[in-house]
Each structure stands twice: as C-alpha cells, then as structure tokens.
Amino acid sequence: MSLKYGVLGLLAEEPLHGYEVKNRFESMLGGTWEVNIGQIYTTLQRLERDGLVRPVGARGDRGKLLYELSPSGRKALVNWLAQPDSGPQQLHEDIYVKLLLATRVANGSLPALLGRQKRAYLQRLRDLNQLEERARRDGRSDLARLIRGALLHTEADLKWVDELAADTHGGKTE
C-alpha cells in the first residue's frame, strides 16, 4: 500500500521516470526498503490505469517515460497522508509464534528462548543506536525519526521479554 503512495508522493515533487522513482524511493527510506524496478513499473501502470498519474510527452532515450501526478492523484495522496494508521497491529516476527509453541513442543525451553531473544534485542538496540547516529550525522533527521520509532519498538520488545522471563522464574506461566 505505501509503495503506491510513496510513488505518488515522489511524483508530487516533480515528474520522474521509473528508475528515478526507484532510486529516490530507496534513498528516502535510507536502505530500509529495497524495491525492484519491476514493482515500480507495475505500480506506475496501475496508477496510470486509475488516472492518478499520467505520462508526460513521448518516450525518450532508451524508451524512458516520464510520469507526473494528475489532480486526482494529488487529491488521493493528500487524503492518504491525512489518515491515521488504524488497521490491526502487524506482528510479523516469528518470536510471537515461537513463544506459544515453546511451551507446548519443548517443555521447559522457554527461559532459554527468552534469554537468547533478549540478547538479540540488545544487539538490535545497539545497531539501531548506531544507525540513528549515522542518520543524524548525514543530516537525515527524517530517517533518524524513523529509526527512533524502531528503537522504541525494540525497547518495548525487550521489556516484554524481561516481563515474560520474570513471570517464568516466578512460576506464573500457564
């Protein structure tokens, strides 16, 4: 979903061709989201079909086609930007399922799993700290804010694992 609006957002600044959209998108995300050029072209074709972008002029060098935002594309972008994210929370990481299975499949291995997970979170915090510092050094305060979000999420994950470990030691696990 965000890729579609990411493309609209970049085209709101100036008309771009597919490769420029890919490069700018990846650079905006500071390497935290890589897209292949095929996804970009498919997205541009869908946006054109829906009347949200339109080609500017004829195909140029090596068949490159510039796209610009249409008025309805601009409206769709502004609407999307104004909407809060209110869908279900996404828990993508395996740990959530591992946690449920650990007590069923391998009885007693939960404390060890939690200990290893804690270390992984500490390492991630360390890496995110470095990344945030690098983003600030590079003058990318927008990217630093994104990484800050990841840092705070990881801090919450760590608290969660600590809490589970305390519960396990206290014999309170069901």
Partner 1 sequence: MTELVRLTDVTKVYQGGITGALNGVSLSIEQGEFTAVMGPSGSGKSTLLNLIAGLDRPTSGDVVVGGTNLGGLGEAGLARFRRDHVGFVFQFFHLLPNLTALENVLIPAQLKGRENAEARGRTLLERLGMVDVADRYPARLSGGQQQRVAIARALINNPTLLLADEPTGALDTHSGDQVMALLAQLHRDGQTILLVTHDAKLATRQASRVVSVVDGKIVDDARLETMERAASDVVRVRGEETSR
Instruction: Please report, as ranges, the residues that interact with partner 1 according to CB under 8 A.
Output: 1-4, 6, 29-34, 46, 90, 115, 118-119, 122-131, 134, 146-147, 150-152, 155, 158-159, 162, 165-166
Q: Given the complex with partner 1, which of 37 and 122 has the nearer CB atom?
A: 122
Please give the backbone phi and psi of residue 99, each rounded to the nearest 5 degrees, phi first: -60, -45
**DSSP letter string over 25-83?**
HHHHTTTS----HHHHHHHHHHHHHTTSEEEESS--GGG--EEEE-HHHHHHHHHHHHS
Rounded to a whole number of angstroms, the minimum distance from the CB of residue 77 to partner 1 is 14
Rounded to a whole number of angstroms, the minimum distance from the CB of residue 131 to partner 1 is 6
Rounded to a whole number of angstroms, the minimum distance from the CB of residue 62 to partner 1 is 28
Pair of tokens at residue 103: 């007590």
